[in-house]
Protein backbone atom coordinates (compact mmCIF):
# COMPACT_ATOMS: atom_id res chain seq x y z
CA UNK A 1 0.00 0.00 0.00
CA UNK A 2 1.06 3.54 -0.60
CA UNK A 3 1.87 5.37 2.60
CA UNK A 4 -0.05 8.26 4.08
CA UNK A 5 1.59 11.56 3.20
CA UNK A 6 2.99 10.41 -0.14
CA UNK A 7 1.95 12.00 -3.42
CA UNK A 8 -0.73 9.98 -5.20
CA UNK A 9 0.36 8.64 -8.60
CA UNK A 10 -1.11 10.57 -11.50
CA UNK A 11 -3.30 8.83 -14.04
CA UNK A 12 -5.56 9.36 -17.01
CA UNK A 13 -8.25 6.78 -17.74
CA UNK A 14 -11.59 6.50 -19.52
CA UNK A 15 -14.86 6.74 -17.61
CA UNK A 16 -17.94 4.60 -18.10
CA UNK A 17 -19.06 7.33 -20.54
CA UNK A 18 -15.87 7.14 -22.60
CA UNK A 19 -14.55 10.48 -21.32
CA UNK A 20 -10.94 10.95 -20.27
CA UNK A 21 -10.39 11.73 -16.58
CA UNK A 22 -7.15 12.36 -14.75
CA UNK A 23 -6.32 12.77 -11.09
CA UNK A 24 -5.74 16.46 -11.82
CA UNK A 25 -9.42 16.68 -12.86
CA UNK A 26 -10.10 16.67 -9.12
CA UNK A 27 -7.48 19.27 -8.08
CA UNK A 28 -8.60 21.06 -4.93
CA UNK A 29 -11.09 18.33 -4.06
CA UNK A 30 -10.71 15.26 -1.86
CA UNK A 31 -11.12 11.94 -3.74
CA UNK A 32 -12.06 8.48 -2.54
CA UNK A 33 -10.32 6.26 -5.11
CA UNK A 34 -11.49 2.72 -4.64
CA UNK A 35 -10.26 -0.30 -6.55
CA UNK A 36 -12.50 -3.32 -7.09
CA UNK A 37 -11.99 -6.61 -8.95
CA UNK A 38 -14.95 -6.96 -11.33
CA UNK A 39 -18.07 -4.98 -12.20
CA UNK A 40 -21.43 -6.62 -11.57
CA UNK A 41 -20.15 -9.41 -9.34
CA UNK A 42 -21.75 -9.86 -5.91
CA UNK A 43 -19.13 -8.23 -3.67
CA UNK A 44 -18.30 -5.43 -6.10
CA UNK A 45 -21.98 -4.69 -6.61
CA UNK A 46 -22.60 -4.46 -2.84
CA UNK A 47 -19.65 -2.12 -2.44
CA UNK A 48 -20.65 0.10 -5.39
CA UNK A 49 -24.28 0.30 -4.24
CA UNK A 50 -23.13 1.22 -0.74
CA UNK A 51 -20.98 4.06 -2.11
CA UNK A 52 -24.00 5.13 -4.21
CA UNK A 53 -26.28 5.08 -1.19
CA UNK A 54 -23.87 7.37 0.71
CA UNK A 55 -23.09 9.82 -2.11
CA UNK A 56 -24.95 12.67 -0.39
CA UNK A 57 -22.78 12.20 2.71
CA UNK A 58 -19.60 12.21 0.62
CA UNK A 59 -20.86 15.37 -1.10
CA UNK A 60 -21.21 17.06 2.31
CA UNK A 61 -17.42 16.71 2.61
CA UNK A 62 -16.92 17.79 -1.05
CA UNK A 63 -15.50 14.35 -1.84
CA UNK A 64 -15.58 12.73 -5.26
CA UNK A 65 -16.08 8.95 -5.27
CA UNK A 66 -14.20 7.18 -8.07
CA UNK A 67 -14.15 3.42 -8.69
CA UNK A 68 -11.39 1.72 -10.70
CA UNK A 69 -11.26 -1.78 -12.19
CA UNK A 70 -9.70 -3.46 -15.20
CA UNK A 71 -13.13 -3.88 -16.80
CA UNK A 72 -13.66 -2.45 -20.30
CA UNK A 73 -15.58 0.82 -20.64
CA UNK A 74 -18.68 -0.95 -22.03
CA UNK A 75 -18.89 -3.19 -18.94
CA UNK A 76 -18.58 -0.17 -16.66
CA UNK A 77 -21.33 1.63 -18.58
CA UNK A 78 -23.65 -1.36 -18.14
CA UNK A 79 -22.77 -1.64 -14.44
CA UNK A 80 -23.46 2.06 -13.88
CA UNK A 81 -26.73 1.96 -15.78
CA UNK A 82 -27.98 -1.26 -14.16
CA UNK A 83 -27.50 0.07 -10.62
CA UNK A 84 -27.83 3.83 -11.26
CA UNK A 85 -24.52 4.38 -9.46
CA UNK A 86 -24.11 8.08 -10.19
CA UNK A 87 -20.35 8.33 -9.66
CA UNK A 88 -17.27 7.98 -11.85
CA UNK A 89 -16.05 4.52 -12.80
CA UNK A 90 -12.67 4.25 -14.52
CA UNK A 91 -11.42 1.54 -16.86
CA UNK A 92 -7.83 0.45 -16.18
CA UNK A 93 -7.62 -2.32 -18.82
CA UNK A 94 -3.94 -3.14 -18.39
CA UNK A 95 -3.93 -2.66 -14.61
CA UNK A 96 -1.17 -0.04 -14.78
CA UNK A 97 -2.94 2.47 -12.55
CA UNK A 98 -3.93 -0.28 -10.13
CA UNK A 99 -0.29 -1.41 -10.05
CA UNK A 100 0.88 2.17 -9.35
CA UNK A 101 -1.46 2.14 -6.33
CA UNK A 102 -0.35 -1.36 -5.20
CA UNK A 103 -3.84 -2.56 -6.14
CA UNK A 104 -3.25 -4.91 -9.07
CA UNK A 105 -1.45 -8.19 -9.49
CA UNK A 106 -1.61 -11.95 -9.27
CA UNK A 107 -4.18 -13.59 -7.07
CA UNK A 108 -5.33 -17.17 -6.72
CA UNK A 109 -9.05 -17.58 -7.24
CA UNK A 110 -10.16 -21.16 -6.86
CA UNK A 111 -7.42 -23.12 -8.56
CA UNK A 112 -6.43 -20.38 -11.02
CA UNK A 113 -3.78 -17.70 -10.85
CA UNK A 114 -5.02 -14.46 -12.39
CA UNK A 115 -4.02 -10.84 -12.80
CA UNK A 116 -6.76 -8.86 -11.11
CA UNK A 117 -7.54 -5.59 -9.36
CA UNK A 118 -7.30 -5.84 -5.58
CA UNK A 119 -9.99 -4.37 -3.32
CA UNK A 120 -8.14 -1.38 -1.86
CA UNK A 121 -9.17 2.23 -1.25
CA UNK A 122 -7.33 5.54 -0.91
CA UNK A 123 -8.48 8.92 0.31
CA UNK A 124 -6.52 11.51 -1.66
CA UNK A 125 -6.42 15.03 -0.28
CA UNK A 126 -7.07 18.23 -2.21
CA UNK A 127 -3.28 18.63 -2.51
CA UNK A 128 -2.87 15.19 -4.14
CA UNK A 129 -1.41 13.46 -1.08
CA UNK A 130 -2.61 10.13 0.27
CA UNK A 131 -4.51 10.84 3.49
CA UNK A 132 -5.85 7.36 4.26
CA UNK A 133 -5.42 3.88 2.80
CA UNK A 134 -7.45 0.71 3.23
CA UNK A 135 -6.07 -2.65 2.15
CA UNK A 136 -8.12 -5.71 1.26
CA UNK A 137 -11.35 -4.13 2.40
CA UNK A 138 -14.62 -5.96 2.90
CA UNK A 139 -17.23 -4.71 0.42
CA UNK A 140 -19.82 -4.50 3.18
CA UNK A 141 -19.92 -1.25 5.18
CA UNK A 142 -16.63 0.00 3.77
CA UNK A 143 -18.07 3.40 2.75
CA UNK A 144 -19.17 3.96 6.36
CA UNK A 145 -15.58 3.42 7.52
CA UNK A 146 -14.32 5.93 4.96
CA UNK A 147 -16.97 8.46 6.01
CA UNK A 148 -15.91 8.13 9.65
CA UNK A 149 -12.32 8.92 8.64
CA UNK A 150 -13.48 11.85 6.52
CA UNK A 151 -15.21 13.26 9.61
CA UNK A 152 -11.86 13.08 11.43
CA UNK A 153 -10.03 14.73 8.51
CA UNK A 154 -12.60 17.54 8.40
CA UNK A 155 -11.93 18.52 12.04
Q: Which residues are catalytic?
A: 44
Helices (H) and strands (E) in the chain, counts: 5, 9
Cα-Cα-Cα-Cα dihedral sign, residues 96, 100, 103, 106:
positive
8, 124 in Cβ contact below 8 A? Answer: yes
Cα–Cα distance, 63 to 45 (Å, whole number):
21
How big is the chain by its Cα radius of gyration, in Å? 14
Amino acid sequence: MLETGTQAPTFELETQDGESVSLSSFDGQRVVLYFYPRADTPGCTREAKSFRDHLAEFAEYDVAVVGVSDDPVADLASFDEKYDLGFTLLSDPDGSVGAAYDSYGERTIGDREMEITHRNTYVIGPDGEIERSYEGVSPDEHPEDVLADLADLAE
